Amino acid sequence: MIKEEIKKVLEKVTGVSNLQVDFVSEEQFGDYSSNVAMTSFGNNKLQTSKTKYKTPHEYAQEIITKLLKDGVIRKFFDKVEIAGPGFINFWLKKDILIDNLIQIDGKKEKSGQSDIGKNKLVIVEYSSPNIAKPFGVGHLRSTVIGDSIANLMEAVGYKVLRDNHLGDWGTQFGKVICAIKKWGDESEIEKSKDQVEELTRLYVKFHEASKEDEKLEDEARSWFKKLEDGDVEAKRLWKKCVDWSWIEFEKIYGLLDIKFYEGFNNGKGLGESFFETRMTSVIKELEKNKLLKVGEEGAKLVFFEEDKYPPAMILKKDGATLYHTRDLATDKFRLEKYDPSLIVNEVGNEQSLYFRQLFEIEKILGWFKEGQRVHVGHGLFLMDGKKMSTRAGKTVRLEDVLDEAINRAKELGNKDQKTAEQVGIGAIKYFDLSHHPLTNINFDWEKMFAMEGNSGPYIQYTFARTQSLISKVKKLKKSNSLINLNNEELLILRKLSQFQEIIADAAKNYSPNILCTYLYDLASKFNTFYNKHKIIGSESEEFRILLTKGTGQVLKNGLNLLGIKSPVKM
């Protein structure tokens, strides 16, 4: 990777690690392809040590002198110069850009990949919907962000195990079982076209009734305790809820093209219930390390030194387990069976304190070191600026949203069902992924399907445009010609040279939005080129078709990492 090459040489020359090396805007800075943020670096150097350099500019000049003696710099760049008070800018050689374009054509689907994570295993946990509740649009974020993060990490060389940590255990099942027993009819639920809707209706009814009758909450807790103790009737009803829920889940995952590691319960993921019998050993380990303390009301908690975090409850006063108990059992199982280099949990940002507590306990126990446990939090999906709530019966079902997206894709002219699904689902995914995971998103159909803005359909259409052009050429010859490259061609070439770096940055930061921004910029540059210059029949036809082919390949590869299909025709 070019940026890494520059960084290594700079660190070698300066003796300073962790230098910032970034690509800059060609439109803003002219013919520059990359720069090093030397101003702050230079000022810091001048402030912290006695030096012969009076200004960052002088310091940068000395660095350039040393850089030009290094073969790597001469290999990649035509010239190296200072800009402003101390930035160092590099002009990539045009033959490097052309060589990269040819490599894209040769590597095809593997273009952009690297081996940063070679020989390392990562478990990425995402989606994790709750059993007996509708798969709401709010769960879309974890599902698509987590899937894209897993794709990105595979692209940089990690072996990735994808897990779906289903919410199939806990007090809520006591409430559902209690509601079924009081107001439900199993045979009617079984015959229903939408079993989850029936379970949701009962769940909402329970919460309405519990406002008038506080004893219902005690009954629900009692049913969950029975479930934990292996009560036959409680287990039977719980299993029914799981089976009914998976009818909807499979439909949703099929539309979204989401898959999990087959070794985890045949691709369904290891839900909380899988660790039901594995919690005892965790509790014993906590007790052995004298971490489990009895709270004022009889519950057992882990207290943190110097009150770093609020106490984490492990067992309720009646001995029932909680999320922390089950998640500790989950991570101990992962550690002992897979010994991962990294575990990533993609879960809503409102759970950030919870995960800080969890990770701290695991560090105290010596299971994982700093940085081996990562929580990627996401913001909320809002409808008219408001959060949705299952308990109040206001969840917008994801299946309904996906159906609407497919219909809107048809209105754009994609009459073929397969293409309409690819465009509609792609629009939903891209709209989500183009935002930073932490931001709250207000659902906006117009932005989602905008054909002139930063949207999935716009990038898909650009890819389809490249394929249409390529299909008109019977035989494509590779070219190394550097003659008369215009500005639009150079901008595309430079953008294509950044693809591998962008994937690495997106993976490192767990931020698919970095890749989205890149793809939109590349698509915009290509469309500007397309509208301004003749491609088929031009004097530079061979090169321009190769440029078109490279652009199409990178757009396709990038969309694939986002979990989005690339239809050839739109």
Asked if 537 and 436 count as a contact pair (C-beta separation under 8 A), the reply is no
pLDDT value at 139 more than 60: yes
pLDDT value at 424 more than 90: yes
At residue 34 the predicted structure's pLDDT band, cuts being 50, 70 and 90, is very low
Asked if 530 and 465 count as a contact pair (C-beta separation under 8 A), the reply is yes
Asked if 244 and 135 count as a contact pair (C-beta separation under 8 A), the reply is no
Say yes or no: 86 and 150 in one domain.
no
In this structure, of 310-319, 346-355, 382-391, the range with the lowest mean pLDDT score is 382-391
CATH number at residue 72: 3.30.1360.70
CA distance 359 to 375: 9
Q: Which of 344, 367, 382 is the last residue of a domain?
A: 382
Share of the chain above pLDDT 90, in %: 65
pLDDT at 100: 92
Q: Which residue has the higher pLDDT, 473 or 359?
A: 359
Say yes or no: 125 and 261 in one domain.
yes
User: Does residue 460 belong to any structural domain of this protein?
Assistant: no
Question: How is 531-567 classified by DSSP, letter by letter?
Answer: HHS--TTSTTHHHHHHHHHHHHHHHHHHHHHTT----
Provide the residue range defining the domain that includes 255. Answer: 121-382
Collapsing DSSP to helix, strand or coil, 476 comes out as coil
Say yes or no: 81 and 158 in one domain.
no
Q: Which of 364, 382, 400 is the last residue of a domain?
A: 382
pLDDT at 355: 98
Asked if 442 and 385 count as a contact pair (C-beta separation under 8 A), the reply is yes
CATH number at residue 310: 3.40.50.620
Average pLDDT over residues 97-107: 92
Half-sphere exposure of 154 (CA within 13 A, CB side): 19
Say yes or no: 83 and 196 in one domain.
no
Number of domains in the chain: 2
At residue 72 the predicted structure's pLDDT band, cuts being 50, 70 and 90, is low
pLDDT value at 481 more than 90: no
How many residues in the chain? 570
Say yes or no: 186 and 86 in one domain.
no
Helices (H) and strands (E) in the chain, counts: 23, 13
In this structure, of 44-53, 148-157, 324-333, 355-364, the range with the lowest mean pLDDT score is 44-53
Extract the tokens encoding 385.
Answer: 């600026």
pLDDT at 28: 46
| Residue (of 163, 171, 14, 24) closest to 494 by Cα position | 24
pLDDT at 22: 67
The residue type at 453:
G
Strand order in the sheet with 159-163: 159-163, 121-125, 342-348, 373-378
Q: Which of 349, 382, 415 is the last residue of a domain?
A: 382
Q: Which residue has the higher pLDDT, 52 or 153?
A: 153
pLDDT at 150: 98
CA distance 392 to 269: 28
User: Does residue 249 belong to any structural domain of this protein?
Assistant: yes
Say yes or no: 357 and 219 in one domain.
yes
End-to-end CA distance of the chain: 34
Say yes or no: 243 and 374 in one domain.
yes
In this structure, of 81-95, 372-386, 417-431, the range with the lowest mean pLDDT score is 81-95
Half-sphere exposure of 340 (CA within 13 A, CB side): 23
